[in-house]
A = this chain, B = another copy of it.
């Protein structure tokens, strides 16, 4: 019965899109690599038609690019584009914070503080494995709570594309406590119902995350070239 419901709800190109996206974000399809339609179609046991429709959607999302008569390639994001993505993401996240500060209920502030405490604990324990998903959920919760689906959709698109930037060393060791201190300032701005301060702290948080990532990347690049 489950298969039936799935097939009724999601179309075949829809599930393929999610599946391929997972493969890309999971690293099975590496950035810059070619996407073979026949191979993929065979792997999923479907025809090339629905597959190509899924790839078109992924192209619009910026995860792959189509070169006429050459095929699809997994998108490669270089530091320059990563910077651009981060700037846009900061602006959107700032908007999320501003919106949240205007409409925040007491329950919502309590929710944010609870998540903050959980992250603090993980940061103190230097437990990156625990911190990472909490951090992700925290940001996602914020963007969702802002109540603007258009904003949320664009934000998620940007985050997906950032995963194509080869630099898994997202936040290393010392970054945890620093990052969560910024989180606390963000939540306090929301609790004070101060839209301007919220926008600023939220946007700055992403801007600083960008600096952390890019400096880590450049040092890693210079290290590997030595």
Contact = CB atoms under 8 A, between A and B. Distances in A.
Interface of A: 8-11, 13, 49, 52-54, 56-57, 59-61, 66, 68, 81, 84-85, 87-88, 90-92, 94-95, 99, 148-151, 154, 158
A39 to B, nearest CB: 19
A12 to B, nearest CB: 9
A68 B150 contact: no
Contact of A61 (B10, B60, B84, B94): B60
A150 B88 contact: yes
B99 A87 contact: yes
A65 to B, nearest CB: 12
Contacts of A68: 8-11
Nearest to A7: B68
19 contacts: A10-B68, A53-B56, A56-B56, A56-B57, A60-B60, A60-B61, A84-B149, A85-B150, A87-B95, A87-B148, A87-B151, A88-B92, A88-B95, A88-B148, A88-B154, A91-B91, A91-B92, A91-B95, A91-B151
A84 B148 contact: yes
A88 B57 CA distance: 22
Contact of A56 (B13, B87, B149, B158): B13
A87 B146 CA distance: 12
Copies of this protein chain in the complex: 2
A151 B88 contact: yes
A148 B87 CA distance: 9
A10 B67 CA distance: 10
A81 B149 CA distance: 8
A10 B68 CA distance: 8
A206 B149 CA distance: 19
